[in-house]
Amino acid sequence: MEKIEILKERLNKNAVVTEIAKEKSPFKVLISTILSARTKDEVTEEISKRLFGKVRDVDDLLKIDLEKLEKLIYPVGFYKTKAKNLKKLAKVLKENYNGEVPNELDEILKLPGVGRKTANLVITLAFDDYGICVDTHVHRICNRWEYVETETPEETEMELRKKLPKKYWKIINNLLVVFGREVCSPTPKCRKCFEEIRERCPYYKKIVYFDEVLKKYGFEKVSKNNIPPEKGTYILKIKLNRGRKIKFGNKEGFFRKGYYFYVGSALGKSINLKNRIGRHLKKEKKKFWHVDYLLEFGDVKGIYVSNKSCECDVAKDLAEIFKCVEGFGCSDCKCRSHLFYLPL
């Protein structure tokens, strides 16, 4: 992967757990990884230092009082649940593994509070063995780069095991965690990204192209409360927070998590942009257009309007670079679709 090579060269920072792993302690890697879930890096760093000042090994973890442990790891995410799991973890390590962290993935997965992300990170960082740690950053960015098409981190891991060259297995998590937190976040900071990656990023190419289409046809972004009572063409940017099967009309399809762009028009005698889009936005409505079925589960994140009659022209332009969702054309055109998909 060219983009991974670029990040190897350009990034000069490690995630917190990668830094902790330099101490060559599988116990500390395991504990700090558990603490890091749903927790900011700076908090994980501070709490790990505080905890390891009191808890140096499995025996210390067994001895410490649960209430004191909770106070030590606060405010990591779900600190009470994590404290209980850490106590259970210590007992299992002592009774089943002689107080040592096992060095096999299947055995690590048996430990309380440990999932595939944690187990893979322990394998790669603590034991320098081959694993692929997929957290939300790795999952999001690999889909955004269109290297995989998956719905969950677990699915992403399995796909990466099939196609990612093994030389990247140990490093992909650290690189994409840092990159994902600082640049390629849930709302990406594309202008802050390395130019070499932007040049190779399908997501960036598509959002730039989308802006060019908006400019070409004179679209303006408007709020839900400021839609003009004029005739014209509109685009709805719809966010679907999780993948799901959706019935539309007499059809059914699986809609992946991501953004959907729907192109429509309001050109009839008694129809204008305000009442046509307003109808789409109503919570309770008779579903006349296929997009209304999608809107039942998605949130409108952007409304773009133009006073031009350009619905099919816009749809044809978007079809040049975006993935089309079949079954969403208008009744009197030969467009491939009027609904287009962009991974989050």
Binding residues: 184, 190, 193, 201
User: Under 8 Å CB-to-CB from 118, ≥6 apart: which residues?
Assistant: 30, 33, 34, 37, 108
Rounded to whole angstroms, how far apart are CA atoms 98 and 28?
16
Q: Which segments of the chain does DSSP mark as H helices, in order?
A: 2-10, 16-20, 26-36, 41-54, 58-63, 66-73, 79-97, 105-108, 116-121, 127, 136-144, 153-163, 172-182, 195-198, 202-216, 273-281, 290-295, 311-318
CA torsion 202→204→208→209, rounded to 10°? 10
Residue from 163, 166, 165 nearest 149 by CA: 163
Annotated binding site for [4Fe-4S] cluster: 184, 190, 193, 201
Encoded tokens for 268: 């009839």
Please answer whether residues 227 and 273 qualify as being in contact, where contact means their C-beta atoms are separated by less than 8 angstroms: yes
CA torsion 222→223→226→227, rounded to 10°? 60
**In the block, residue with structure tokens 């309380």:** 112
**In the block, residue with structure tokens 């990591």:** 76
